[in-house]
Structure 1
Amino acid sequence: MAVQMVNTSYEQTPSSLSIFNKVDHPITLKFHEVIYTIKIKKRGWTMKKTNESPEKQILKGITGMVSPGEILAILGPSGCGKTTLLTALGGRLGGKLHGTITYNGKSFSSIMKRYIGFVTQDDILYPHLTVTETLVFTALLRLPKNLTSQQKVLLAEAVIDQLRLTRCKNIIIGGLNLRGLSGGERKRVSIGQEMLINPSLLFLDEPTSGLDSTTAQRIVSTLWELSRGGRTLVMTIHQPSSRLFYMFDKVLLLSEGNSLYFGKGSEAMSYFESIGYSPSVAMNPSDFLLDLANGIASNDSSRVDQNVVKQKLVLAYKSNLGNNMNVEVLEDNDNVRENRKAKRWSTTWWQQVKVLLRRGVKERRHEFFSTLKIGQVLAVSLLCGLLWWQSDTSHLHDQSGLLFFYSGFWGFYPLFQAIFTFPQERRMLSKERSSGMYRLSSYFVSRTIGDLPMELVLPMMFCVITYWMGGLKREFGSFMYALMTLFFSVLVSQGLGLALGALVMDQKSATMLGSIIMMSFTLAGGYYVQHVPGFISWIKILSISQHTYKLLIISQYKHGQTYRCGHKICSVEDFPTIKTVGLHGQMISIVALAIMLVVYRVIAYMALMRVGMPK
């Protein structure tokens, strides 16, 4: 009983599913004279400035085609352009890309993403999720919305069975310093994520990298079975064994961005023999091809310059294979079928938010209940409570100092927590956005909501402890005012951290920049400096610390309130650190923080729009 995972008919029982069924939309991939150029950035102050940067060609007119049911292996030494070509064919490469790449005669489109799977070289997976959780969440996001959640779960379980992952389905993925799956099992999970959509065209970047020969054999055997169902497979591979080499239907050999061979894998050795290159001893065909791609001719490698060998091979390809290949690729014999009514997104916006929120909570639950974080805040809270134990208005300097510490500590703490959010998830976001898994807005909203519990629970715990231990105003209304102000400050500081992390996308640089900005806000917060020069007083308007401190002061004191200063009675409003911020302008500070709350998040969202998009 056949079920097509991209098709809209899922009426069969999931127990009979097979991910190796024939696809309903076979794709012929053609690429003609693909050229990719990059600009070389000049570094160093001694370099002369010019209007134009030098350019380097990575791909130099690559041509080829691969039909349904075939596996194309792209071979070549490191740096020859294998991954660049694969990324271009997968529709994930922008910039100065020239030539034509067609899928059944059509150019790449957002709808085409529904039929294309792309497995990256590095297994980009959430380390704390199990195999089942990883594939189920992928199914909930990528499979059509006309399927029920239960059907999607059953489809994910079917993929687990077909890829022989049943034994480890309840084991976490693992990662650095976290024990989990083996390398081969992680690779199969990555392939399983793409197989859920039953892709007609599947790209794989070095699927056997870092695996032993037996595991590599199993991976490629699985891929060979997938191709028999009418799928088109394209992979890069560095140095396959002889057994693997002869499983490839077609081989493309690259050297410094040039084609040296394109054709059947079984005919590669005879082609090079026909142009005068043959191994002196029996050897693995892929080893011999890599030697040639590096300019090493086995018959006389010591006397012939390597560049000369490469040039001869490039010329031989153009004269023997290139012209025929151009004619074959340019023939318009594709069976074009395109579903014009297909929508870009498989699921609704709200479904994406819910699934991403559940996945995020499961992945970061160990962070939410981190003993270290709770211990840090608890220790600081108790220390503050003891240092400011039962202070009163007769110690106004101490009380105002505690309130300013509130604004300072809860400015820095959420800032640095948020700065790491997007840089840590950049690779995952790039991978999933490139595959069209969900909207950026869905991810952004779910990520923001998912972080709220820990962002608000910790400051509440801090405020409950320090407020009453510190002897602040013993009225519930004043306590709630201070708590709400603290929440407001935390959300604004978090927004600033998200914006900086998204803009810089480098943890060290973002942390340094965040430290400078928040330190500037703290210095202009009205506690350390009462008389800020006019030419720099604009910082106070932008200072999160200034507005938070003012609202905290207002929560504790009112107009006309007095305190004992020595042997006389003084007005609270005249106290230096309070006079600077004043007991007026409450709405100005609230509006300023509200504007920052929105603006910082808008900046973060706009900065994220470039992640996962071709450049």
Structure 2
Amino acid sequence: MPDIEAPTTNGSVPDISQKRNRPVTLKFEDVVYKIKTKKQGLTIWKKVKEEEKIILKGVSGMIEPGEVLAMLGPSGSGKTTLLTALGGRLGGGKLQGTITYNGDKFSNSMKRNTGFVTQDDVLYPHLTVTETLVFTALLRLPNSFTKQEKILQAESVITQLGLTNCKDSIIGNTLLRGVSGGERKRVSIGQEMLVNPSLLFLDEPTSGLDSTTAQRIVSCLWELANKGKTVVMTIHQPSSRLYYMFHKVMLLSEGSSVYYGKGSEAVKYFSSIGFSPAVAMNPADFLLDLANGVYSNESTEHHALIKSKLKSEYTNRIEPQLKAELQERGVSGQSQQDRPQDREFGRWPTTWSQQLFVLLRRGVKERRHESFSGLRIAQILIVATIAGLLWYKSDISHLQDQVGLLFFVVSFWGFVPMFHAIFTFPQERMMLQKERSSGTYRLSSYFMSRIVGDLPMELVLPTIFLTITYWMASLKPSLLSFFFTLLSLLFAVLVSQGLGLALGALLMDQKTATTLGSVIMLCFMLAGGFFVQNVPKFIAWIKYVSISHYTFKLFVGSQYGVRDTYPCSEGQCLVADFPSIKQMGVGLEGQIVAALALGVMLVAYRLLAYAALMRIGVTKKLS
């Protein structure tokens, strides 16, 4: 697995710009976005009606290398929707219009040459700043870089963003103390800067930050633009210092543009159409007031008239010039698909095995605090000890008690791994969407890393549990029987884990998945063959899909043979004729059938989970 420590060599930081950077001119014309919403009201007897809502209403613009475009507007004006559309990440609706990148449509190559920073920082809380950026570099930088060069690039970004003082601090979250909000935001930006993107999108990068921290972040973005990057951001209410750092400003109101042009000329433009600030004020505040239809002391009934006039003036004054500029200013140079150096973007940056090992290393570092938590270990040890004491030295003369212990172990280790696995994918949905949207890794490598990474704790704890309970309860004193019982338990644990993974991936809601999982596992347990031996035929089919049924069959076979006997009222009776064992059977054929059935479930549940994860994607499918 890759070492994340910085190399001790004095090698220079690789010039990534020569290998991956290509200036990008972004043009968008008449962008319209519509979604269907369900009409509110009682719909018990009538079919729910869907209404079409227009989020973006023919928005146009152009951003060239070296420019910072800030999209302003009140909440609900369509800023984030437009940014997501320009970043190639918009789904779930009907998008119309033309969006081009150097004259080409959005593609896999452009996806990997684009950085996208979401408003919410999606980071692993237990990783340090250095670990976060180094793991990202190892995954996103191509194999044309050595491992040392990738680590050096991460160190360079840390220095560039002023994160040196906190590079060994964990990220943290609301429940775990870590770096500050501004530092966390810079880490998110740093993850995108690692690949030296030609086009960088940021959604509210200064949200929730103090003015000084916001100034530092925007200054970093301004410096990036000066190096030939194209920077597009949404911003809600920037200070006047920030406002004058924007090369271009787009003001949106109710999904329509009411201004597009140089930020320094916005106030002059609105003054020319009859809207001048009454007092000296922050231009951004003045623009936001206008976008809300607020001007001077006008009454609320005039708000709609003000918005209507702004849109009308934009259509007559700015839009014709903008459309003419979009038509006249074509992009010179070779098509993106024709450039040999850009075809590198169309492939995955690293191999499948590299992705697996890096994701595995990262996952173990992040989840070791959860997997090896003292609370979870204590839970297993306490239950194992109590079970061992309750069934202490329960020999074959207490056959019903022994069978009850076997079924308790089956039930307990049906619920525990399933509940733990249910939370796996819902907790990581945001991270998976973020990294898959940027083409960081294959879904298969991520899925396999999660499966393999969870194995140690999933297998160690039941092993400890059974070791304690088995010998305290005086089950069959044979190492062969113990190991067969242990293998059966571990097999069942993996199957139950697969069921939890499938439920979590299908529903992506922890509460719903937990409820459904409880119902399913209870049905499996009731049909397992211990509580009810004479199950009615119309519902007997449940046992054929029951994890508990097949595991119980393996457990019974591991403890009792065909010729084993136990004390009864008639002297000695065959164990195979005991009511709760008779229908299970202790023959070899039944054991083989049970093992094969669990094997099918083991594969089927994981395939179902993988197929469900394939639905999670907000961008076009990667090649």
Q: TM-score, normalised by structure 1?
A: 0.95
1:591 partnered with 2:596? yes
Give 1:4's aligned residue: none
1:570 partnered with 2:568? no
Deviation readout 1:103-125 (Å, 9 max, x if unpaired): 00000011111210001101110
Quick check: 1:117–1:202 contact (8 Å CA) kept in 2? yes
Quick check: 2:352–2:445 contact (8 Å CA) kept in 1? yes
SS in 1 for 2:12: helix
Deviation readout 1:318-376 (Å, 9 max, x if unpaired): 11111211222233510344235323210000000000000001111112321001100
1:243 partnered with 2:241? yes
SS in 2 for 1:151: helix
SS in 1 for 2:417: helix
Question: Which of 64, 67, 92 does residue 67 from structure 1 map onto?
Answer: 64
Equivalences for 1:495-506 in 2 at 5 Å?
A: 495-506=498-509
SS in 2 for 1:40: strand
CA separation of 1:329/1:229 partners in 2, compared to 1, >3 Å: closer, same or farther? same
Compare 565-574 and 466-475 and name the one that shifted more.
565-574
Give 2:386's aligned residue: 383
Give 1:310's aligned residue: 307
Compare 564-573 and 440-449 and name the one that shifted more.
564-573
Give 1:550's aligned residue: 553
Quick check: 1:105–1:332 contact (8 Å CA) kept in 2? no
CA separation of 1:543/1:242 partners in 2, compared to 1, >3 Å: closer, same or farther? same
Q: State the one-letter code of the partner of 1:32.
A: E
Give 1:41's aligned residue: 38
Question: Which of 148, 151, 157 does residue 150 from structure 1 map onto?
Answer: 148
Q: State the one-letter code of the partner of 2:175.
A: N
Deviation readout 1:79-99 (Å, 9 max, x if unpaired): 111111100000000231111
Quick check: 1:562–1:572 contact (8 Å CA) kept in 2? yes
SS in 2 for 1:132: helix
Compare 465-474 and 341-350 and name the one that shifted more.
341-350
Shift of 1:223: 0.6
1:326 partnered with 2:323? yes
Give 1:209's aligned residue: 207
Give 2:195's aligned residue: 197
Give 2:27's aligned residue: 30
1:613 partnered with 2:618? yes
Question: Which of 160, 163, 175 does residue 161 from structure 2 map onto?
Answer: 163
Give 1:132's aligned residue: 130
1:515 partnered with 2:513? no
CA separation of 1:570/1:113 partners in 2, compared to 1, >3 Å: closer, same or farther? same
SS in 1 for 2:171: coil
Deviation readout 1:519-571 (Å, 9 max, x if unpaired): 11001000111111111111000000000000000000111221101352211
Question: Which of 94, 97, 109 does residue 96 from structure 1 map onto?
Answer: 94
Q: State the one-letter code of the partner of 2:150.
A: K
Q: State the one-letter code of the partner of 2:564.
A: Q
Shift of 1:613: 2.7
Distance (whole Å) between structure 2 residues aligned to residue 511 and residue 235 of structure 1? 39
Distance (whole Å) between structure 1 residues aligned to residue 364 and residue 395 of structure 2? 42
Shift of 1:588: 1.3
Equivalences for 1:165-564 in 2 at 5 Å?
A: 165-298=163-296, 300-302=297-299, 304-331=301-328, 333-337=330-334, 338=336, 339=339, 341-342=343-344, 343-564=346-567
Give 2:80's aligned residue: 83
Distance (whole Å) between structure 2 residues aligned to residue 159 and residue 264 of structure 1? 30
Distance (whole Å) between structure 2 residues aligned to residue 489 and residue 23 of structure 1? 48
Shift of 1:41: 2.3
Give 1:3's aligned residue: none
Shift of 1:48: 6.4
Quick check: 2:88–2:106 contact (8 Å CA) kept in 1? yes
Distance (whole Å) between structure 1 residues aligned to residue 58 and residue 488 of structure 2? 61
CA separation of 1:396/1:278 partners in 2, compared to 1, >3 Å: closer, same or farther? same
Give 2:55's aligned residue: 58
Number of aligned pairs? 603
Give 2:6's aligned residue: none
Distance (whole Å) between structure 2 residues aligned to residue 63 and residue 111 of structure 1? 24
Distance (whole Å) between structure 2 residues aligned to residue 177 and residue 18 of structure 1? 39
Q: State the one-letter code of the partner of 1:29.
A: L
Quick check: 1:23–1:229 contact (8 Å CA) kept in 2? no
Quick check: 2:13–2:149 contact (8 Å CA) kept in 1? no
SS in 2 for 1:259: strand
Indicate the RMSD between aligned Cα atoms, in angstroms.
1.7
Deviation readout 1:370-399 (Å, 9 max, x if unpaired): 100110000000000000001111101000
SS in 2 for 1:606: helix
Q: Equivalent pairs: percent with the same residue?
A: 64
SS in 2 for 1:311: helix
Quick check: 1:59–1:81 contact (8 Å CA) kept in 2? yes
Compare 16-25 and 342-351 and name the one that shifted more.
16-25
Quick check: 1:28–1:334 contact (8 Å CA) kept in 2? yes
Quick check: 1:20–1:226 contact (8 Å CA) kept in 2? no
Distance (whole Å) between structure 2 residues aligned to residue 435 and residue 22 of structure 1? 18
SS in 2 for 1:36: strand
Deviation readout 1:498-537 (Å, 9 max, x if unpaired): 0000000011001001000001100100011111111111
Quick check: 2:355–2:441 contact (8 Å CA) kept in 1? yes
Deviation readout 1:67-88 (Å, 9 max, x if unpaired): 0000000000011111111000
Distance (whole Å) between structure 1 residues aligned to residue 129 and residue 255 of structure 2? 38
SS in 1 for 2:95: strand
Give 2:4's aligned residue: none
Quick check: 1:130–1:169 contact (8 Å CA) kept in 2? yes
Compare 52-61 and 389-398 and name the one that shifted more.
52-61
SS in 1 for 2:324: helix
Shift of 1:23: 7.3
Give 1:9's aligned residue: none
Distance (whole Å) between structure 2 residues aligned to residue 65 and residue 533 of structure 1? 70
